[in-house]
Amino acid sequence: MKIENVLQKFIVLLEKKEYFEAHGVLEHIWLEMKKDGHQYANLARGLINAAVAFEHIKRATPTAMTKARKAFAGYTKYRHICDDADCNFKSACKKADEIAATLGLFF
């Protein structure tokens, strides 16, 4: 599956608040990207971490925000790559940023 298609599916799943599924969809392609040395592999990993953070908050456990902040740090570490990324990655970052702001996660 093409990276563009995976990113579009990732965004749709985020919009549906299916964060765990979004993480899984992107993780499959990230493994290939990492193996191939793709220039946006770290950004893909960061987006996976963002989805994990959102899922922690969705589950609303007593430690949810602590776990979410820790996972979200993995996104913020690579967020700057979005500035130079292609439009598909920029769209995924924009959606992640929007969700993060509504959930009280900031970078």
Q: How many CB atoms lie within 10 A of CB 103?
A: 16
Question: Which two tokens mark 16?
Answer: 């549906």
Could you give the number of structural domains in the chain?
A: 1
Q: Mean pLDDT in the chain? A: 95
Residue 106 lies in a domain: no
- Closest C-alpha among 37, 43, 106 to residue 80: 43
Q: Which amino acid is at 11?
A: I
Residue 14 lies in a domain: yes
Report the C-alpha gap between 105 and 38 in whole angstroms: 28
Q: Does residue 66 come out as left (phi exceeding 0), alpha (psi in the -120 to 50 range) or beta?
A: alpha
Share of the chain above pLDDT 90, in %: 96
What average pLDDT score do residues 75-98 get?
96
Q: What pLDDT shows up at residue 107?
A: 67
What average pLDDT score do residues 2-21 get?
97
Residue 1 has pLDDT above 80, yes or no: no
> Which residue is associated with the tokens 């820790």?
70
Task: Say if residues 73 and 44 touch (Cβ distance below 8 Å).
Answer: no
Question: Which two tokens mark 61?
Answer: 């456990």
User: Domain limits at 27?
Assistant: 3-100
Query: pLDDT-derived band of residue 51, with 50, 70 and 90 as boundaries?
Result: very high
Q: What is the pTM of this model?
A: 0.95
Residue 46 lies in a domain: yes
Residue 49 has pLDDT above 90, yes or no: yes
Q: What is the DSSP letter of 79?
A: G
Q: Which amino acid is at 59?
A: R
Residue 88 lies in a domain: yes
